[in-house]
Amino acid sequence: MDFRYVRFYYEPSLQIDLDGTINEISQVFPNCIFEACGSFFEYRPDYQMTAERARISEIRQPFGHQSPGHQFFDLYGRSTALYDGFELQRLLAPAFPEESFIPIIFTDLLTCTFSEEDWRYHARALICGTPSVISTTGIVEAPAKPREFYLSILTQNVDSVKKKLSGRFIDYGDERMTKVAAGYVLQILFFFITNGDPFCEDISCRLHNAHWQEDLIRIQVENPAICTKHRLLANKFNHRLSTRESI
Ligand SMILES: [Zn+2]
């Protein structure tokens, strides 16, 4: 699917430099128009309660079998609500009836998806579709931290373990979040360009679906690059946009 307009819903409390993120994306998609808007829930406060219907109360039950009630989960000392990412997307979709732009919502709500492979929910940083959702909490919690982290917290205080392994994973308020967010936005845009197949097998490409924090940092922060295949796809897309008056 071709598109020209991309709209970001963002709030400063998320601590991403959105201009920096847009600047990175513009280098790959120079013919697109990126628009920064405020918080989605400030723009549509009527959806605040709606979003709560995507809350999950049991990690090991799919969304259709959740028991009522809003539970919080302990994430290494942080009490956090979990949301079914696809259900959240489905509930928010009516706010975007027109298809003249790609809506991307940045949020600190922690999105999760249920896996039938191990029959449990897993945290996700990214939910692609309409709207697409980038969870800043998910950027911290979804890709796995170094193995040492999980071994060390069995016997040591979380804060001291985080300090010891500082730099090896993205943490809350981390300035590297801006570049990581740019990588997730690229995955969203390629999701639409490829009609639903954004991820890359090449472990050095920004479209690679990193499952580990150290891989995420390597491909999005330390050495951000796009493989030849995806570079060609972007070039073709940019050429199509430049030859059309309106999309
Ligand atoms: Zn690639």
What is the residue whose two structure tokens read 């090449």? 202
* Phi and psi at residue 134, to the nearest 5°: -110, 120
CA of 49 to the centre of ligand 1 (A): 38
CA of 208 to the centre of ligand 1 (A): 7
pLDDT tens digits, one per residue of 49-70: 999 999 999 999 999 999 887 8
CATH assignment of the domain containing 41 = 3.40.390.10
Residue-averaged pLDDT of the chain: 95
CA of 52 to the centre of ligand 1 (A): 35
CA of 192 to the centre of ligand 1 (A): 15
Mean per-residue pLDDT for 208-217? 98
Burial of 45: CB neighbours in 10 Å, binned 0-12, 13-18, 19+: exposed
pLDDT tens digits, one per residue of 73-107: 999 889 999 999 999 999 999 999 977 899 999 99
CA of 146 to the centre of ligand 1 (A): 24
* pLDDT at residue 108 in the model: 95
CA of 190 to the centre of ligand 1 (A): 10
The residue range of the domain holding 228 is 5-243
pLDDT tens digits, one per residue of 111-163: 999 999 999 999 999 999 999 999 999 999 999 999 999 999 999 999 999 99
Q: Determine what percent of the chain is predicted with pLDDT higher than 90.
A: 91
CA of 123 to the centre of ligand 1 (A): 23
Cα angle 48, 33, 125; round to 5: 45
Q: Which residues pair with 55 in a beta bridge?
A: 83
CA of 130 to the centre of ligand 1 (A): 23
CA of 33 to the centre of ligand 1 (A): 23
CA of 226 to the centre of ligand 1 (A): 6
Counted domains in the chain: 1
* pLDDT at residue 245 in the model: 67
